[in-house]
Amino acid sequence: MKRVLLTVHKFFPQHKAGTEVLTLKVAQVLQRRGYETLVVTANPPDLNARYKSGPETSQYEYEGVKVRVVEEPLRLKNNRFSNEYYNPSIRGYFASVAADFAPDLVHIFHAQNLSSSIIDESVARGLPVVISATDFWFICPVVQLKRPDGSICRGPAPLAVNCLTCYTPALFPPASEFQAAIEKKFPAFKALENVPAPLSGFTLDAAYAAYKASKLSGAVSATMARPNVLRTAANRAGAITVPTALMRDLFAENGINPSLIHHVPFGIDTAPLEAHQTKTASNVIRIGFIGTLFEHKGVDLLIKAFLGLPQDVNARLQIYGDPEQFPDYAAGLKNLAKNGSANSAKVTFEGTFPNSELGRILSNLDVLVVPSRWYENTPLVIQSSLATKTPVVATNLGGMSELIKHNINGLLFELNDSDSLRIQLLRLIREPDLVKKLMANIQPQRNTLEMVDQFESLYAQVLRIAK
């Protein structure tokens, strides 16, 4: 029996996005094929845990898959910035797990929160490594190749000077969090706050400015070093799989050895979805969004486009997503939907649902909208939607546009353009046969078994080379 250790940046049951689903399904298929698997993951750093002395670990089982979790506080540490991409402490934890589980190879679905140190530890142990990239973490510190102004980036410039403008500001805690941290570590601070600044020689603003200045030099040097560290780590893998031609090209442009890169499109568990290809009856066009309620997903763009439709449209917008994950943004969406438009009452927030309910949810939608503001690679929700014969309206951006062909199996609109999206939504409402035409053109979707077939072929290849 071969043993495969799979890694992912976060995992079920707390985290349920596409990469987590992909990792879970691959582990389950491998187990059915006789492999022993272990998922190693990390909880995102907890601000409230910043003073714990070292990694905390736990283990559990989820849907038949064994999982080990590590959590290490990173905020307010001198090496906070470099630890994001190379964490020696996590390497020590990973070494103990690898020694205990004794895998034949390591399959990395994500290294964020774990860092690239797990690659070095795997290679040091003589373990072949396969990386399946699900986003741009290996080349972009903010993962999405999206600049603060919303424009799209193609990777780090020399010395990563462009990354500094995107990355370092986001890594400083807000002043309010900084104050809470100081009060926690130094209880006397509360008393000092009541002493006039001229007498104490201390102000919170001055302390915060000093803190930022002390961290900035480390942040700059760590950010500048990041591309080379991760490029070197990735090139130590035996194989790297990418789901799209776009990602293949961007990885190669950014120094990843093209000979290591294999195009392996994602697959999904199609059977339970294909059972929901018959739409429930409705006298309105049901437009839906399913995903993370956050800015990069473009949910606000969709709401604006929908509210801008003529007030007599026979349509409704159903938004599915966890409002607690990014509560401020979710609250902003609800406020946006209540802007007084005649269409406001047609927007509903449906919350979350178990992944097993995805097919049923999609069968109650006439069209799914994926209005993302970044490349997205291959969103599994697009494949899932197509598997239920639900057309997709998506941003005309690489990754998404490799799956959705305009006027064939869906519609495309221009990046970050609510008017462009509104026009496509109006077409679905005003052109009575358009939805049926798009549905008829949808082809069967690639399934998880086909994807794992390719993974197994790569496993054999890297194991053979390792010998």
For residues 204 and 211, give the distance between their C-alpha atoms in angstroms, rounded to a whole number.
Answer: 10
Residue 286: CB partners within 8 Å, gap ≥ 6? 315, 316, 318, 364, 365, 366, 367
* pLDDT on residue 57: 86
* pLDDT on residue 151: 87
Long-range Cβ pairs for the range 199-204 (8 Å, 24+): 204/175, 204/178, 204/179
* pLDDT on residue 171: 53
Give bridge partners of residue 130 from the DSSP assignment: 107, 239
The domains located in the chain, with CATH, are 3-147+225-267+448-466 (3.40.50.2000), 158-222 (no CATH), 271-441 (3.40.50.2000)
* pLDDT on residue 102: 98
In 3D, which of 286, 296, 378, 299 has the Cα closest to residue 337?
299
For residues 303 and 280, give the distance between their C-alpha atoms in angstroms, rounded to a whole number.
Answer: 24
Q: What is the pTM of this model?
A: 0.82
One digit per residue, the tens of pLDDT, for the chain of length 467 reads 699 999 999 999 988 888 999 999 999 999 999 999 999 999 876 544 444 556 778 999 999 999 999 987 554 455 777 888 999 989 999 999 999 999 999 999 999 999 999 999 999 999 999 999 999 999 998 898 988 888 889 999 888 878 877 765 555 555 555 445 545 544 544 444 444 444 434 455 555 555 555 556 677 788 889 999 999 999 999 999 999 999 999 999 999 999 999 999 999 999 999 999 999 888 899 999 999 999 999 999 999 999 999 999 999 999 999 999 999 999 999 999 998 788 999 999 999 999 899 999 999 999 999 999 988 878 889 999 999 999 999 999 988 999 999 999 999 999 999 999 999 999 999 998 999 999 999 999 999 999 999 999 999 999 998 87
- Residue type for position 153: C
The token duo for 262 is 């294999």
* pLDDT on residue 189: 43
* pLDDT on residue 169: 58
